[in-house]
Structure 1
Amino acid sequence: MMLLFTNQILIYLIMKKKIVILIFLIIIIVFSVKMLNEKCVCNKPYVTFTFDDGYEDIFTNALPIFKKYNVSATCYIITGLVGKEFENQKLMNWSHIKELQENGFEIGSHTVNHLDLTKLNSSSIVKELSFSKETLIDHGFNVSSISIPYGKYNDKIEKIAKKYYTSVRPSIWGFNSLCDFDRYNLKSFWITNSTSIETIKSLIDECQKNNYWLIFMLHLVREDKNSEYSISPKDLEYIIKYIKSKNIEIKTISEVIDLYNCSCYAQK
């Protein structure tokens, strides 16, 4: 009788121990899944500001606004025209560009001469893409992104770009779905002087609703209604404030790309 009672106690203790272990394992699994979801880039929206060409406006008018709100952007530089003019507009010099990087901006390539790459042979495309990266590296910049001049892009250019860069932003209209996108065909929405604030707000709202990655393409930042590719400093600041009011993180191209080490990232 005593032996039977002892065996029952042992069985009870063993079962209780198994239940405790099971509960402990369930807690670990739930906690791990929660942590993974929090880290997974697919579960939250992001906004990126990109500036093409490297106009001096970015340094004089945009940088102070980005510094004020402690955010940054990606700036694509035409390396062969630094400190010169492009389309009758003054471009930044190397000191300006360096200060951008010191304030958290990502510096990317916009090729050497801003040519229509689809009209070049493979050798010339390689030079435009590789020489621009080498020049930026020689000036102390970490370069992994490129923007395609005029948005003129094809399979040949993409194949070459993959040898030198981890992301390409052509001029493809749309949102990037964070769980399934092509880093060598990043989609964006370009802002011009005819783009209304309400349109931009609706894009931001859609980004937040669906956990998209929203990339804005900009050029000039100035009070100039006659310049098609400009946005006023006042409107730029309003947009940044609106994004922050939605608790959406503003990151550079490379920062978002670097987040894609989680299981939901489908690299293409």
Structure 2
Amino acid sequence: MTMVPALQSFVYQQPSSLVMIYIPVITLLSLAYLGLSEIIGKHLQYSKFWNVNSQKSSAKQIKLSSTTGMLILYTPAFLAGVASFCIYPDGGTRFLLVESALTIHFFKRVFEVLFVHKYSGGMILDSVMLISFFYFIATVGMIYFQHLTQGFPEPSIDLKYLGLVLFLVGICGNFYHHYLLSKLREKNEKGYKIPKGGLFNLVLCPHYFFEILTFLGISFISQTMFSYSCAVGSAFYLMGRSYVTRKWYISKFENFPKEVKALIPYVF
């Protein structure tokens, strides 16, 4: 696959195919579109936006509990990661790191659903299926694209260990801030509060910031165009989601601190 010369040092060569070219592009554009949709008010219906469009839709929507919905979100991707160890048992160090990072990430998410998060609303089945499909396809795609690099020379600039560090920082930071969010509510309490502690004093969605670091770390471990497109596309989506989340908090809390940004301290 022909690449821009500046990228060749950072990205694996892969079999020359239109599919290999267009899948990363389509993935990136689709996720960027979802981020833009959040900004213009077409939200994926989970968390505080779970019922935002329910009165506008003429079709009958199927509602799920947040626990059920979130398990559907993450379990298929987790199982795909587990299965990859059997399907591709001898891929080498980088391949093992990619498989392990993806599996650990989605295991953590399932663990949080079962033992950490405290939910206040529900989820709409359409949004659940869309997000679950993306996570599953992203996981399968990153593993498969990594498999296709077998036999090709590694990029001249090796980012896998930097990626491993970013992944560990991202997954730990994400878990910590999810834990802080869970402590905001007492048992059976459903209301929202302004988050505090950790990076919540600087940004409203540090858990999104660290999730971006997680996927960026995986993309550096992988160094395929598909993994990069997933990381950048996820960043675009989470930027849109964090932007509208901050707008929501400002509309609901008169005392919301205006200096607290949405995603990136002091910047955005």
Please give the range of the TM-score, normalised by the shorter of the 2 chains.
under 0.3
Q: Which has the higher strand share?
A: 1
Q: Which has the higher helix share?
A: 2
TM-score by length of 2: 0.23
Structure ID, larger Rg: 1
